[in-house]
Amino acid sequence: MNVQSTPTLPFYQATGSECALFETAHDNGLPLLLKGPTGCGKTRFVEHMAARLGKPLHTVACHDDLSAADLIGRYLLKGGETVWVDGPLTRAVREGGICYLDEVVEARKDVTVVLHPLTDTRRTLMIDRTGEELAAPPGFMLVASYNPGYQNVLKRLKPSTRQRFLSISFDFPDPETEIAVVASESGLEPGRVAPLVRLAGHIRTLSGMDLEEGVSTRLLIYAATLMAGGTGIDQALEAAVIEPLSDEPDVQRALRDLIATIYG
């Protein structure tokens, strides 16, 4: 978990009306759900919008053991006495900030119970341990994200939860936009970024390979950053594309063959 509040505007290249929709949701106190594959820019989008609106951002990376208490807070022993310490969701509510729950479907089921009163007309957070009921002030916004490609019967958002959020679908940007994003983030010249983006496009459309997902824009930025720092193309792609995508020797070999056709 981390808190980010910065005057600088993180780079984000809009691909549609998502920025305007985020602002409208924020101004009207509406929760927002972001859907899309890993590494397509969901988190960067939230960081960009929080900085653009001048709002403190509380980001929570959800996982199997994340409980409601992790979000709300708990009593801790400090200096020989027991004190209450707010969790990131409570801090965001108190200060009218943005709370971003990344991969919310990974969290335990009791988390959604806590979120429901914040995602309807009540806009309240109940803290059972202290007896407080916090009313979210204007400016507080709840944002969550998940990857639909990883959903299964055990981990998916219930319709009763999904229908409490506005929703935006994200995908990898078009080649021209992705080149601009990778070049801006890595410092690598656009002409050298273009083959990376072309490679990513081929990987994302391949069928018959044992890949859960295609290569992310994030991994392209990693590869380009290595190359901008002087790492050779083969080594950069091995470390930033081949190894992260698969452990299977046959799949890795197929990826190397594809790279050879792009860079050969």
Quote the CA–CA distance of 58 and 162 in Å, as a whole number: 21
Q: Give 123-140 pLDDT, tens digit per residue.
A: 999 999 999 999 999 999
3-state secondary structure of 250: helix
Answer whether 107's CB lies under 8 Å from 124's CB. no
pTM of the predicted model as reported, rounded to 2 decimal places: 0.87
- DSSP structural state of residue 121: T
Which of 81, 95, 66 minimizes the C-alpha distance to 3? 95
Number of H helices, E strands in the chain: 12, 10
* b/e per residue 137-150 (b: at least 16 CB within 10 A): eebbbbbbbbbeee
* Cβ–Cβ < 8 Å for 13, 177: yes
In single-letter form, the type of residue at position 262 comes to I
Using DSSP bridges, classify how beta strands 32-35 and 166-169 pair: parallel, antiparallel or unpaired: parallel
**pLDDT tens by residue, 178-232:** 999 999 999 999 999 999 999 999 998 875 566 777 899 999 999 999 999 999 9
Rounded Cα gap, residues 48 and 51, in angstroms: 5
Q: Three-state SS string across 2-17, please?
A: EEECCCCCCCCCCCCC
pLDDT at 5 over 80: no
What proportion of the chain, given as a percentage, has pLDDT over 90?
A: 78
What does pLDDT average to over the chain? 91
Residue 151: pLDDT band (50, 70, 90) is low
Question: Does the CA dihedral 147-10-91-76 come out positive or negative?
Answer: positive
How far apart are alpha carbons 238 and 232 in whole angstroms? 10
Residue 83, amino acid = V
Range from 41-55, 94-108, 143-157, 161-175 carrying the lowest mean pLDDT:
143-157
End-to-end CA distance of the chain: 43
Cβ 46 vs Cβ 187: under 8 Å: no
Q: pLDDT band at 149, cuts 50/70/90?
A: confident
Assign domain 2-169 to its CATH superfamily.
P-loop containing nucleotide triphosphate hydrolases (3.40.50.300)
The Cβ of residue 135 has, within 10 Å, a number of other Cβ atoms equal to: 10
Q: How far is CA 122 from CA 31, 94, 101, 113, 126, in A?
A: 12, 15, 20, 14, 11
